[in-house]
Amino acid sequence: MDLFTEIALIVVLAAIFGFIAHYLKQPTIIGYLFAGVVAASFISEDLTHIFRAFSDIGIALLLFMVGLEMNWKSIKEIGKPAVLAGLGQIIFTAAAGFFILLAMGFAFVPSIYISVALTFSSTIIIIQLLSQKRDLGSLYGKIVVGFLLVQDLIAIFGLIFLAGLDETSESATLTYTLGTFTLSLIKGGVLVCAALLLSKYVFPKVLHILGKSQELLFIFGNAWGLGLAALMAAPFIGFSIEIGGFIAGLTVANSMEHFQIGSRMRPIRDFFIMIFFVLLGSELILGNVYEIIIPTILLSIFVLLGNPLIVMIVMAALGYRSRTSFLASLTVAQISEFSLIMAAMGGKLGHLSESEVSLVTFVGVITITISSYLIMHGGSIYEFLRSWLKVFEFRQGVAEKVLSGDVPYANHTVLVGAHRMGGNILAALKSTGEEFVVVDFDPQIIGKLKNRGIPVIYGDISEDEIKELSALARARALISTVPDLRDNMQMIDYLKKENPKAAIVVTAENEWEAGVLYELGASYVILPHFIGGLQIAQAIKKDHHFDYLAKLKDHDLSLIRGNSWN
C-alpha cells in the first residue's frame, strides 16, 4: 500500500471513529485512539516516522494555543478557591498515586511519571462539556476553569522539568541534580519574561500590520509557533518543542489579533492532534494487556473516585456547599491530553517502557469515557447522593454565604446576576428605594457590590440554601438575567409552589426557551435580541436618516461608564 493510500485510509478511519464517539457523546480523541488501534494492523514503518513528525507539529500547535489563550487577567482573578483547589488536588493526587504505584511494584521513576500524569484533567474536554451544559458561567464552572488554569501552568513547569532529564534508557533513575533543575527554572523564567516583553511591546504592533491580511496572519501564527518550538528544542537551548510552542503562544496572547489567529489555526491544530492520538492508539500494546489490566483498573478507580474525593474535601474545607463541591469534583475524574503527552515524552526519554505508556493511555480512555457521562449528568447524580454528600458541609457552606448585613428580607425583589444587563436593572432598583437583594456567583462583582453597601449573596440560586438566604419564598418579585433554562425552570416551579403571587421575570436565549418559560408561568421573559432589535426599530421610526443613533450611542456609553462595578 502506498503512503498516500495509507494516510487517506487513516484519516477516513479517524473520521468514522470520531463520528461514533461524538454520537455516543464522547470526546473525539477516544475515537481517534480506537482508529489508531485498527490502523496498527496496516500502518507501515515509513508512515510511522512521518506521523511522529506530524504528532510533534500537533503538540507544538496545541501548546501554542494554550499559550495564546492564556489570559493573564484571568490568572489574577481566579482567586483563592481555584488556586487552593487546583494545587491541593495536584499535590494529594500525585502523592497518593505515587505510593499506590510503588505498592503495585512499579519502579521509582515510572511511579513519578504516572502519578503526575494522573493529576491533570483535560481543559479542552471539560470546557466543551460545561459549554454544552451551559454551566461555564455557574459558580462551580468558574472555579473549575480557574483550577484547570492552575493545572495547565503546573503541567508547563512539569514539561520544563522533563526537558532537563537525561535521554537514557539504560537505567531507570533520574540524573537530575538540584543544580540542573535550578538552571532549567532560571532558563524557563528568562524565556517567559522575554515572552511577556515581546507580548507587550513588540507583537501588538507587528500583528496590527499583519492583521490587514488574514492569510498572512494565519501563516505568521504557524511559522512563529513551529519556528520557536524548533528553536527551543535546539541542543544549545535544551528545551522541548512543547515549551517552545507554549512560549510562542504567550508572546502573542495580549495582541488584539490573538482571537483571529486562534480561530484560524484551530482546524490545523485539530488535524495534527488527531494524528498524535491515532499514532498513540496504534502503539498501544494489546498483546500484553493482561499484564497491565489490574494496574489499569486500580488506577482508573483511583482517578474516577480518588480525584473527586480530594477536590470535594479541599472545597469543603474552603467552605463551599456540597453541590458546588460535588459538581466541580466530577470534572477531575479523568486524565488529560497533557497526561498522554507527558507519558509519550517519558517514553521518548527512555524513562517509561512501552507497556507503561500504554497503561497511561488505557487509563485515559477509561476515565475520559466514564467521566464525560458523569459531568453531563452531574445534577441528577448529586440529587441521588445528596443526603450522603451533606457530610462535606462541615463548614456549613460559609464561602457561599457572603451577605452585606443579616437582613430579614420580606416583600423584596431578588435580582439574580448583576453583570451588564443586571447592572442596569440594579441601578433602577436602587432608584426606586424598594428593598432588594442581589444573588451572583462572580466573586469580583460580589466584592464590588459589597464595597458599595449593596445587599448581596454569593452563590448559585439553584441551591436550596441560597433560596432560603435570599428569602425567595417571601419575595414580591424575582428578576433573573441568567439565561440558564434549567435553573429558570426550577425557580419558576419553586415560586409557583412556595410563592405564587410573586412576579417572575427570567431571561431566555431564544424563542423556543421563552415559550417553555411562559408555559411554566413566567410573568415576563427577557429576550436580549428582541430588546436590541426593538431599540433599533424605534430609532429608525424616530429618524430614518439614522441621526438618532448618535444620541443612542451617547446614552449607552453613559450607562456603560456609569456601571463602575463591571
The answer to whether residues 419 and 387 belong to one domain is: no
CATH number of the domain that 186 lies in?
A: 1.20.1530.20
The answer to whether residues 373 and 438 belong to one domain is: no
The answer to whether residues 386 and 412 belong to one domain is: no
The answer to whether residues 64 and 97 belong to one domain is: yes
Backbone φ and ψ for 503, nearest 5 degrees, come out as -75, 140
pLDDT confidence tier of residue 70, bands split at 50, 70 and 90: low
pLDDT top residue among 402 and 292: 292
Position 16 in a domain: no
Total domain count, the chain: 2
Longest dimension (CA), the chain: 82
Cβ 97 vs Cβ 118: under 8 Å: yes
The answer to whether residues 380 and 527 belong to one domain is: no
The answer to whether residues 194 and 150 belong to one domain is: yes
When pLDDT is averaged across residues 351-370 and rounded to a whole number, the result is: 85
Position 25 in a domain: no
CATH number of the domain that 448 lies in?
A: 3.40.50.720
419: alpha, beta or left? (left if phi > 0; alpha if psi -120 to 50): beta
Joined together, the cell numbers standing for residue 207 give 500583528
Position 365 in a domain: yes
Residue-range definition of the domain harbouring residue 523: 401-562
Could you tell me what percent of the chain has a pLDDT over 90? Answer: 7
Statement: residue 166 has pLDDT above 60: no
The answer to whether residues 214 and 284 belong to one domain is: yes
pLDDT recorded at residue 297: 92
Q: What is the DSSP letter of 477?
A: E
Of the candidate ranges 30-39, 249-258, 394-403, 410-419, the one whose mean pLDDT is the lowest: 394-403
Could you tell me what percent of the chain has a pLDDT over 70? Answer: 80
pTM of the model: 0.66
pLDDT recorded at residue 161: 67
When pLDDT is averaged across residues 73-95 and rounded to a whole number, the result is: 73
Position 32 in a domain: no
Q: Could you read off the pLDDT of 225-264 as tens digits, one per residue?
A: 898 888 877 766 666 777 788 788 878 877 777 777 887 8
The answer to whether residues 355 and 496 belong to one domain is: no
* CA dist., res. 492 & res. 525, Å (int): 12
The answer to whether residues 58 and 192 belong to one domain is: yes
The answer to whether residues 93 and 204 belong to one domain is: yes
The answer to whether residues 378 and 406 belong to one domain is: no
Q: Please choose, from the candidates 76, 77, 84, the residue with its C-alpha nearest in 3D space to the C-alpha of residue 317.
A: 84
The answer to whether residues 75 and 95 belong to one domain is: yes
Given the C-alpha cell 417572575, which residue does it identify?
Answer: 504
Position 22 in a domain: no
Q: Which of 372, 392, 412 is the last residue of a domain?
A: 392
The per-residue DSSP string of 139-167 comes to: HHHHHHHHHHHHHHHHHHHHHHHHHTS--
Q: Which of 392, 416, 432 is the last residue of a domain?
A: 392
Position 46 in a domain: no
What does the mean pLDDT of the chain come to?
Answer: 79
Joined together, the cell numbers standing for residue 354 give 512501552
Q: Which of 367, 392, 417 is the last residue of a domain?
A: 392
Statement: residue 404 has pLDDT above 70: no
